[in-house]
Structure 1
Amino acid sequence: MRLKSYSLTEMKDKYIGNKGTAEREAYEYELSMDVLGRMIKAARQQRNLTQEKLGKLVGVQKAQISKLESSTNSATIDTILKVFKALKADIHFNVTIENQQLQLI
């Protein structure tokens, strides 16, 4: 007997909800915030900065940096850009519309 295999997309559709549904959008948002938080933490550690020192560079409290890194805070784009600027790190945003990557010229 052969077992049927499912793709990750099929599993997400079945157990989280189809793309475009509120449940799926919430899941994708949380996943993005988690990845962003991990990137901030890794960059901060590579620069040998404490959360407190990074907070001072950005102009926020240590607690806000902690929340960003643990994904418990929905930060504004402005704050995220300030954090990466303080880390002297480049950040690139990609926008894809109907399978075509949008490029600003």
Structure 2
Amino acid sequence: MKTKKKNNLVSWESHLNKKYGKRGTATRNKYDEEFEAFKIGVLIQEARLQQNLTQEELALKVGTTKSYISRIENDASDIRLSTLIRIIRDGLNGHLKLSFD
């Protein structure tokens, strides 16, 4: 007799609720903030790689260090808005667009 496997898939939101709590809780708010910073770092890294720039080349264009670019790409949680604008405008020839809801 064959037994049927149960489908144990859950939505991403359900997973986050279980692991970090529902939206609005302190733990979930911390997670959401850290995730937003992570996304900024990934976007910077992807734009840099699309332009075939090394971290060092980007740092030279922006007037900072390779280690600072690396730190931002890995955790942009403490980046100043003026620095972010300089990286995007001067280093990556882009424009910063912000949105919120």
Unmatched segments (≥5 aa) in structure 1: 97-105
Aligned to 2:40: 36
Greater strand percent: which structure? 1
Aligned AA (2:97): H
Aligned AA (1:30): E
Which of 72, 79, 92 is the matching residue for 1:87? 92
Whether the aligned pair in 2 keeps the contact of 1:38 and 1:69 (CA below 8 Å) is yes
Q: Rg larger in 1 or in 2?
A: 2
Q: Percent identity?
A: 29
Aligned to 2:49: 45
TM-score, reference length from structure 1: 0.77
| Greater RCO (Cα-Cα under 8 Å, separation 6 or more) | 2
The alignment's C-alpha RMSD in Å is 2.0
Paired positions, count: 96
Aligned to 2:59: 55
Q: Describe the superposition over 1:39-85 as per-residue Cα deviations: whole angstroms up to 9, x where unpaired.
A: 11111112221111211221211111000111265211211111111
Write out the 4+ residue segments of structure 1 that deviate beyond 6 Å after TM superposition.
none
1-structure distance, mates of 2:27, 2:57: 37
Q: Shift of the alpha carbon at 1:4?
A: 7.0
Aligned AA (2:25): T
